[in-house]
Structure 1
Amino acid sequence: MSHGLNPKKVLCIVYVAAMFVVAMDATVLNVALQTISRELEVPPAASGVLNVGYLVSLAIVLPMAGWLGDTWGTKRTFLLALGLFTGASVLCSFADSLAALTLFRVIQGIGGGLLTPVGMAMLFRMFPPQERAKISRALILPIAIAPAVGPVVSGLLLEYLTWRWIFYVSLPIGIPALVFGLFWLKEHREPDAGKLDVPGLLLSAPGLALLMYALSQGPLHGWDATRVWGAGLAGILLLAALVKVELRAAKPLLDLRLLGNRLFRTSGFIAMCASAGLLGMLYVFPLMYQNALHVSALDTGLTTFPEAIGLMVASQLVPWTYPRLGPRRVIIMGFAATALIFIMLSMVDAGTNPWFIRALLFGVGIFLGQTVGSVQIAAFATIPPASMGRASTWFTVQNRLGPAIGLAVLSGILAAIGTETVNAAGGMEPNLIAYRAALLGAAGFLLIGAGAALWIRDADAASTIRKPAANLPAKEQAAPAEN
């Protein structure tokens, strides 16, 4: 049922809407955790299981997302995931206990785990390489706006209504996107998807889930806690066995052979560094600003909001900078400039002008936004359409591990140095050194990413840089780059 609608525009609308509700969900919930724990009469620390349950269920379904999309059809899988996520949001609002709320969050995680890789595969199949710089606007919009809007919406709902309303915010976007996609999205199946790789699933699902659990709980309970290091060790062993099994499989669930592609391998690692550094900074800086510099939560939110504006501006610049400078230079320059800004943020104190800090965070959005957009475009430049589902799955797995690793490392720095120190009068006061060291750690992730970008060859991504030549057959594809 096309009714004259442009299928590319239809896909962008549905993709952006779905990613928006998923990206906003985390920040909306985090603000409300304290209120939820109080009203459900559980200790505040216990409410953390809501995020853990979501992350673990997401990690379990992620490995099979590409295969499900290829086998069942990308439209069917994507809309089923969006329906699960939206429906579970409604169920969360009716939960009368922490156990029920956790169960519904697990269902949300299943939907969220399928949405991103399947949606990304749909986008990169629909748009040929030379058009992907233009769709960077669609890729970065939900990343930029949703996390910034979430805390504001959550705060208003908590103040004037109840915490249950925060789970309704996805409905005005999720339901129209679901109906719109049902009628106008185009279906796609891969005829040679193969059977489900059961050994790969039995190793990857618990392996990733245990590793994500360890990374998320280590900073809270200590890395020497038996359940933390035990889960981490078990996860690593399962994933090590997965490597051996998947390299022998004819149709692996997680296609590790894709890492033989130099551009895809390097871009995936760079994306991990970018997400580790950015999410790590967005975790540490607000803590420093509120706890050490004694700024209110509202002022902290207003101060960090320009980062989202910078991301939106960056999304408009990528279609211009990417083809002119090439991915290698855009990524290196973006990482270097953002790392410098992180270092400057580590030096702020109570006397620093808030508008100067806002300008720095706006710069983070501008520079790192172009880096993230360029990495996503370049990563899939030499991936054939038939492998797009499994490639987007692997890329998403790496992107999920990035923030978990970043938060684990930076939380470890804070814990090792200590966020409080004894002053001259013998009392306790915030320790700025710990926060500054953690921000320097976030900059370190970006510098590692910049170093990795030196391995990128713009010639490998030539198909995404060049403009389509006149009269060039639409089906003609660029030759794959050398591994």
Structure 2
Amino acid sequence: MCVSVTFIAIVDGAITTVALPSIAAQFGLTTAALDGVVVVYPVCLAMAIPASAWLVERFGGKRVLLTALTAFLGSSLLCGAAASLSELVAFRALQGLSAGVLFPASTALLYATFNSAEQVRVARYMIVPQQIAPAAAPILGGLLVDHLSWRWVFYVNLPVGLPAVLFGTLCLAAHRGHRPPRFDLPGLLLSAAALGTTMFGVCEGPNRGWTSTVVITALALGTVLLAVAVIHQLRATAPLLKLRLFANRLFRDTNLINLVGLVPMLGAMFLGPLFLQQGLGRTALESGTSTFPEAFGVLLTVQVVGVLYARVGPRIIVGCGLAGVSLVLLLFSTCDQHTGLWTFRAYMFLLGLFMGGVFMPTTVASLATVDRKDLAQASTLNTVVRQTGGALAPVMVTTALVLNTPAAAAANPPITAYQHAYLALAALAAVTAVFAFTLPDAQARAAASTPTASNRPTTRVRRGARTG
């Protein structure tokens, strides 16, 4: 269930870009005019995330998950049937709002079902959609657009999502939830406005330019709103986002690693296609098949990490993983116009091998010492942090390219600009690796190796099965 939800939500966020030229042709517009179709999704996703924890606590994980998934599928159908650009943007916004609830709700339900020792094994399965989805999205989108139409990049969610809805309705055990404190409406408005405005500025920066009035205004306003939202959440007796969870050092440090560490890893995934297509003049298909090996590297490492987690602990695994990422990014910085595709593919595979040592351990460790009643809140905060890290990745890449490209060649950065961008990502990964080696992981290791009655699963699937 959670695997299907994660897969379609990630694919939907990445696949739309491939269809933009066809959508532009359909509505008689330029591709640049369709910027709202892409930007509205992460903006609305960020705005919906803060409310997800309260919804799960109030109505239960099953009900919230199935409602959000049904809304997501319905909005996918509406996007595919859109008759105008305004309709498409509106329905795309509904998709983003639904996805903003889907991610934390599915994570909260999953980790409430399994204890700490089982979560390590579960994470090995959850990493599959997280890696395959973004790698497969460009290839799948190209096939759908070329052989069917752009509308199928939205319709494709239905054959995956509808069986998940049916399975969840019939097999997931009901989880009624409880009556949480009064809904923090000011907290929602402040958090949604802060995250949405900041995400808009970050997403629009590469397109409009970081010195444009719109981008500067959005980032400045987002920063002010974010500061006000944090002050409100810390003072409120029943905050929408329980920021006090960051007082837990393991939770705080793993989230900091996720925030900063995701930037070089996802930045490399963003930079790779640019280097291949713009720098080397390769085709989109060659680019897609050359970046895909990263997913195989991650999936391979995760299986090993799942076995070593309880014995070694997340500190050593994450630290070594980030150090390896830094070394591979240094290899990427040596790539030039003479670099062959198979060399690039080998580097991508190595990158995936080390990335696999970061994703799963940080996720499991972040929740290892969190009280079970706070799992929904912790999952929501995790989602906020990861979405922010994911948005910052292209920001760093774009900034590095701009700083190393002459103004006269802004539309076509030289090879050296890509090399310097890889060096910047390598430096950030190295700094994060040093911090990761200070992670206090004794409790996380103990929780994974010795399940206790207090962390036994409380939410079960009917007929004795479990959610997954």
Between 46-55 and 105-114, report the one with greater CA deviation: 46-55
**Counterpart for residue 445 of structure 2:** 462
Between 366-375 and 258-267, report the one with greater CA deviation: 366-375
Between 254-263 and 22-31, report the one with greater CA deviation: 22-31
Query: How far apart are residue 39 of structure 1 and its match?
Result: 1.7
Q: 1:33 to 1:475 in 2, by over 3 A?
A: closer
Separation in 1, partners of 2:434, 2:85: 45
Matched, 1:444 2:444: no
**Counterpart for residue 326 of structure 1:** 313
Query: Contact conserved, 1:157 with 1:166, CA < 8 A, in 2?
Result: yes
**Counterpart for residue 97 of structure 2:** 110
Matched, 1:46 2:46: no
Aligned ranges for residues 196-215 of structure 1 at < 5 Å? 196-215=183-202
Deviation sequence 1:295-338 (CA, Å, 0-9, x none): 22111111111011112212322211212221000001000011
Separation in 2, partners of 1:353, 1:222: 32
**Counterpart for residue 292 of structure 1:** 279
Of 111, 135, 140, 1:124 maps to: 111
Q: 1:451 to 1:362 in 2, by over 3 A?
A: same
**Counterpart for residue 391 of structure 1:** 378
Query: How far apart are residue 192 of structure 1 and its match?
Result: 5.1
Query: Contact conserved, 2:10 with 2:130, CA < 8 A, in 1?
Result: yes
Query: How far apart are residue 202 of structure 1 and its match?
Result: 1.6
Which secondary structure state, in structure 2, belongs to the residue aligned with residue 134 of structure 1?
helix
Separation in 1, partners of 2:62, 2:162: 15
Query: How far apart are residue 53 of structure 1 and its match?
Result: 0.9
Of 167, 170, 176, 1:180 maps to: 167
Deviation sequence 1:38-66 (CA, Å, 0-9, x none): 22111211212112111111111111111
**Counterpart for residue 69 of structure 2:** 82
Query: Contact conserved, 2:250 with 2:441, CA < 8 A, in 1?
Result: no
Aligned ranges for residues 54-453 of structure 1 at < 5 Å? 54-191=41-178, 193-418=180-405, 430-453=413-436
Separation in 2, partners of 1:475, 1:352: 51
Instruction: State the AA in 1 paired with 2:19.
Output: A
TM-score by length of structure 2 reads 0.94
For structure 1, list consecutive stretches of 5 or more residues without a partner in the other structure.
1-13, 423-427, 478-483
Separation in 1, partners of 2:60, 2:426: 41
Query: How far apart are residue 475 of structure 1 and its match?
Result: 5.5
Separation in 2, partners of 1:139, 1:377: 11
**Counterpart for residue 481 of structure 1:** none
Query: How far apart are residue 420 of structure 1 and its match?
Result: 7.8
Q: Work out the percentage of aligned pairs sharing the same amino acid.
A: 36
Query: How far apart are residue 29 of structure 1 and its match?
Result: 1.0
Deviation sequence 1:50-91 (CA, Å, 0-9, x none): 121111111111111111111111111111111111111111
Query: Contact conserved, 1:421 with 1:431, CA < 8 A, in 2?
Result: no
Instruction: State the AA in 1 paired with 2:112.
Output: R
Query: Contact conserved, 1:141 with 1:315, CA < 8 A, in 2?
Result: no
Query: Contact conserved, 1:69 with 1:389, CA < 8 A, in 2?
Result: yes
Separation in 2, partners of 1:445, 1:111: 33
